[in-house]
Amino acid sequence: MTSDHAAASMTSDHAVDIDRHVKVYITVFVALMVLTIVTVAISRLHLSVPIAVTVALLVAIIKGSLVACYFMHLISEKKLIYAVLALTVAFFIALMALPVLTFFDGYWIHV
């Protein structure tokens, strides 16, 4: 697609789509605000650490997913981007698993 063609499509083909997107952005913004208040409110309940960590991370994952899916348009992205991110997620999980595995150091030594 040449830049002229692309420029033309920006005005005609996508105009309705963009209007729809803007409504979604506003909805996501409200959801993020509500979830921020929820995050702070939950912390005031002084739950036990494992439950507090689980709930806080769950809310953060929901908020993060909303940002990634809608603001970063991941919900309608090309396969190559998904492939790059799948690889990133795999390495990220491995990275997070490293400190968790240290729990088992003593276990393996004493068994």
Partner 1 sequence: MDIPYTVEVRRDTGLTNGKIGIWLFLASEVMLFGALFASYILIRTGAPSWPRGDTILDVPLATFNTIVLISSSVTMVMAWASLMRRRFGTYRIYMGATILLGLVFLIVKYFEYGHHLRLGEFPSTNNFLAIYYTLTGLHMLHVFGGMVVNAYFWGPGAKLWKTNPVWFTNRVEHSGLFWHFVDLVWIFLFPTLYLL
- Phi first, then psi: what are they for 14, rounded to 5°? -95, -10
Write the interaction track for partner 1 spanning residues 56-75; mark x where CB under 8 A is met and - where it is not: xx-xx--xx--xx--xx---
Residue 34 engages partner 1 in binding (rule: CB under 8 A): no
Which CB, 48 or 111, lies closer to partner 1?
Answer: 48
CB-based contact 35:62 (threshold 8 Å): yes
CB-based contact 18:26 (threshold 8 Å): no
Is the C-alpha dihedral spanning 47, 29, 25, 88 positive or negative? negative
- Phi first, then psi: what are they for 44, rounded to 5°? -75, -15
Residue 7 engages partner 1 in binding (rule: CB under 8 A): yes
Which residues contact partner 1 (rule: CB under 8 A)?
1-3, 6-7, 10-11, 14-15, 18, 21-22, 25-26, 28-29, 32-33, 36, 39-40, 43, 49, 52-53, 56-57, 59-60, 63-64, 67-68, 71-72, 78-81, 84-85, 87-88, 91-92, 95-96, 98-100, 102-103
